[in-house]
A and B are shown apart, each in its own frame.
Chain A
Amino acid sequence: GQQVMQIPQYQHVQEGEDFTTYCNSSTTLSNIQWYKQRPGGHPVFLIQLVKSGEVKKQKRLTFQFGEAKKNSSLHITATQTTDVGTYFCAGHHSGAGSYQLTFGKGTKLSVIP
């Protein structure tokens, strides 16, 4: 089946440091979404990227979609303890229809105060 690779699997940062997680697909994505799951919680939608080369910002979070629509990244500037959790990317593969998302395995972020 379709796969979305996500790295790193874990990231430990000092509070105030930056954090980046990367997603890569071998095939073109029609769009990509990002979700955050707090410890003990459920995934919550953060954002969707649709256009080639798209960049979106939410406060300290910056999301990018690659020009070829095969990769994406999430960058957090100056992490805070509230950023702790697992960040997942999830992509719709082109031609697969709008119903099925393929999730990456997630990057678990720990922030040391």
Chain B
Amino acid sequence: DGGITQSPKYLFRKEGQNVTLSCEQNLNHDAMYWYRQDPGQGLRLIYYSQIVNDFQKGDIAEGYSVSREKKESFPLTVTSAQKNPTAFYLCASKTAGGETYEQYFGPGTRLTVT
């Protein structure tokens, strides 16, 4: 089955700890994205990557870091510098360019930091 997997589904951490969220896709998509979703806030873009070894900051990149060493994988690290890390994190991917701009989303990781 082709798709996007995110793990774990629920994650609990203590304040001050860094935590890495996993995102893997087997859709052969070039572009990958990380969004944060808070109640009533919609989806806000954290980072995106158009190609391996390259990524760009989105609207709310502060306190987050990413890497794109493989086409299939785009892990997100939530650092201790992120002031309000508790949220629902969604990873997405899409084909590069062309008229098809649809994004495919993973099931999400719900992070709780106390």
Binding site for B on A (CB under 8 A): 1, 6, 9, 31, 33, 41-45, 48, 50, 88, 90, 92, 98-101, 103-106
Contact = CB atoms under 8 A, between A and B. Distances in A.
A33 B103 CA distance: 9
Interface in B61-104: 90, 94, 96-99, 101-104
Interface residues of B, number: 26
B31 A99 contact: yes
B42 A104 contact: yes
A50 B100 CA distance: 11
A4 to B, nearest CB: 9
Nearest to B99: A50
Contact of B90 (A1, A43, A100): A43
Given A42-B90, A42-B108, A100-B48, A33 B43 contact: no
A31 B45 CA distance: 18
Given A88-B42, A103-B43, A45 B104 contact: yes
B105 interface: yes
Contacts of B31: 99
A98 B101 contact: yes
Contacts of B105: 42-44
Nearest to A92: B101
Nearest to A86: B42
Contacts of B106: 42
Given A100-B48, A106-B42, A31 B101 contact: yes
A103 B104 contact: no
A99 B50 contact: yes
Contact of A1 (B41, B50, B59): B59
Contacts of A88: 42-43
Given A9-B40, A105-B40, A105-B41, A45 B102 contact: yes
A88 B40 CA distance: 11
For A9, A44, A103, which residue has the most chain B Cβ atoms within 10 angstroms? A103
